[in-house]
Amino acid sequence: MSTLGDIAASQAIRTFLAFLSRASVRDVERLLFLAEKAAPDEGAKEQMRSIRRLWREGHPLAQLVQRVLTELNPNCRARLVTNLLVNAGWLGGKRRGSWREKEGLHVPFTYLISPTMRCNLRCAGCYAGQYSLEDDLPPEVIDRVLTEGEELGIYFVTILGGEPFIRKDMWAIYEKHSDIVFQVYTNGWALNDEVVDRLAGLGNVVPAISLEGFEEETDTRRGKGTFQRIMEAMDRLHQAGAPFGFSSMVTRQNLETIISDEFNNMLVAKGCFFGWHFLYMPVGRNPDLSLMPTPQERNRLRTEGAARIRDTKPLFVVDFWNDAPYVDGCIAGGRDYFHINSHGDVEPCIFCHFAVDNIKEKGLREVLRSPLFLAIQSRQPYSPNTLRPCMLIDHPWVFREIYAETSPYPTHPGAESLVTSLCAGLDVYSRGSARVLDPVWQEEYMAKGFGSQREAVSKAGGAA
């Protein structure tokens, strides 16, 4: 339950946002100056000075903030920022810390739920087409999980699938849990006028639309007409003042498009606020190691991808691998996130389709203490070099060890290929990544002060 202080903080932020929406650039500078003077210590003062400098220089991140203040409708702006800053950040952080102090329970910042694996598309490399209505996660289970998550201090939840907007009963859940920010991964086909109006009215549901690149790349994987449908959906969202982003699976075939100025300028013009870069992972239907970006391409994605885009465009793009140094490596296994699939299986990662628990039978507090999660957390980070954060493709022997130790079950047919038929190929890939990325870590990241805050456990047998 929120305290009077929590309620006051929420109202203060709403008032502040109302002021910002009509403030001039000079007004914001004055506010940042006052915030610097009021900062409690020198570290906080330096942070505010850096923010003031970025704002004064018109850095793309400052431009992005201006876009949030001017392009979102008032309802979406107030709901989104209040939920992120007060609920997920300040209030949620206090609650998560309280559980750690009270019970020694590590509560992650977020989790993912797949309410359904049903989908109207049949994309290459995706196994969603195998599922039916009977495979959906019951709404009462989803509601219970969200309530338990709020009690633990988790107010940022990602919804995916399948195509989540197939589930019409999710609207009532989004409305009931209005203090949560829901990021919803979608193929874009369902974002018609009616759905966009509901999103604009709710304000706490943020679509992340899957794109493989331009029309040729997107339609080749997702089906003819998909790209044009997405462009129309983005126009609707932008016109309604509703926040949205994109998600791209990066392969050897589309990397150059994904990092190109032409593609990212188009996304800004369409109204995108954020985006995700995910490496192709050899999971799901017919896993293909040849689609994975080579170690050299992965390094190019590091230098020319998300980081460069953030520095040059008002678009906040995150690379799930190359930005790992900022979060000290892998965040799976409940360290900062986990996934509940449509059957209720609690998986350590969206790409790691193994489990030892089912959420239909246990609560969140219990599954967060699962032997699988604890085994993963005890080994994180898997190497001092967190540019290679993953236990599946960067340190595959680590997951094999965890698999042998905890005996998880595969959550769909074929998932076990990560510990059987793909082993040799993943070992070759991981050694190649080490040869390319270890020198980069030594020369660029250690010089900037990056380094693990935990003891790295990297087995000698897996050394590159």
Q: Mind listing the pLDDT tens digit for each residue in 93-105?
A: 999 999 999 999 9
- CA dihedral defined by 336, 281, 363, 174, rounded to 10 degrees? 80
Q: Which fold has domain 103-463?
A: TIM Barrel (3.20.20)
For residue 456, what pLDDT is reported? 40
Which of 70-74, 175-179, 180-184, 195-199 has the lowest average pLDDT? 70-74
Whole-prediction pTM: 0.91
- The amino acid that residue 95 corresponds to is R
> What does the alpha-carbon distance between residue 16 and residue 34 come to, in Å, rounded to a whole number?
14
pLDDT at 22: 64
Helix (H) or strand (E) holding 364: helix 364-367
| pLDDT tens digit sequence for 206-242 | 999 999 999 999 999 899 999 999 999 999 999 999 9
Residue 316 reports pLDDT greater than 50: yes
299, pLDDT greater than 70: yes
How many angstroms separate the CA atoms of 128 and 140, rounded?
22
CA distance 402 to 76: 42
- Residue 390: the pLDDT is 98
Total Cβ atoms within 10 A of residue 4: 7
Cβ atoms within 10 Å of 1's Cβ, excluding its own: 4
Confidence of residue 58 (pLDDT cuts 50, 70, 90): confident
Residue 20 pLDDT: 64
- Token reading at 343: 């059957």
Percent of the chain having pLDDT more than 70? 89
The candidate with the shortest Cα–Cα distance to 402, out of 387, 415, 419, is: 419
Cα dihedral 137, 141, 146, 149 sign? negative
With bands split at pLDDT 50, 70 and 90, how would you rate the model's confidence at 449?
A: confident
Which of 61-75, 351-365, 384-398 shows the lowest mean pLDDT across its residues? 61-75
Strand partners, 318: 276
**Residue 243 to residue 229: CA distance in whole angstroms:** 18
In the chain, which residues fall in CATH 3.20.20.70?
Answer: 103-463
pLDDT of residue 62 exceeding 60: yes
Amino acid at 26: R
pLDDT tens digits, one per residue of 134-172: 789 999 999 999 999 999 999 999 999 999 999 999 999
Q: What is residue 452's predicted lDDT score, i.e. its pLDDT?
A: 44
* pLDDT value of position 16: 67
Q: Is the pLDDT of residue 47 over 50?
A: yes
Q: Which band of pLDDT confidence, cut at 50, 70 and 90, is reported for residue 18?
A: low
Looking at residue 122, its pLDDT comes to 78
User: pLDDT: is 235 or 57 the higher one?
Assistant: 235
Q: What is the largest CA-CA distance in the chain?
A: 61
* Cα separation, 61 vs 310, whole angstroms: 7
* DSSP string covering 377-395: HTT-SSSS-TTS--TTTTS
How does residue 9 score in pLDDT terms, banded at 50, 70 and 90?
low
The pLDDT of residue 463 is 39
CA 341 to the chain's CA centroid? 16
Sign of CA dihedral 337, 298, 457, 352: positive
- pLDDT on residue 69: 85
- Distances 57 to 25, 28, 62, 216 between C-alpha atoms, Å: 11, 13, 9, 38
Q: What is the pLDDT of residue 252?
A: 96
Q: With bands split at pLDDT 50, 70 and 90, how would you rate the model's confidence at 455? A: very low
Unique residue bearing structure tokens 């946002």: 17
Of the listed ranges 105-114, 424-433, 443-452, the one predicted with least confidence:
443-452
Rounded to 10°, the helix 226-240/261-270 angle is 50
Judge residue 304's burial from the number of C-beta atoms within 10 Å of its C-beta, 0-12 exposed, 13-18 middle, 19 or more buried. Answer: middle
Q: Which amino acid is at 87?
A: N
Joined together, the tokens standing for residue 201 give: 């009215």
Cβ atoms of 200 and 169 closer than 8 Å: no
**Does the pLDDT value for residue 40 go beyond 70?**
no
Distance CA 142, CA 40 (A): 40
Mean pLDDT of 303-323: 97
The beta-strand segments (E) located in 131-227 are 156-159, 181-186, 205-210
Which residue from 423, 431, 450 is spatially nearest to 322, judged by alpha carbons?
A: 450
pLDDT at 85: 83
Residue 358 DSSP label = B
Backbone angles phi, psi at 279, to 5 degrees: -65, 145
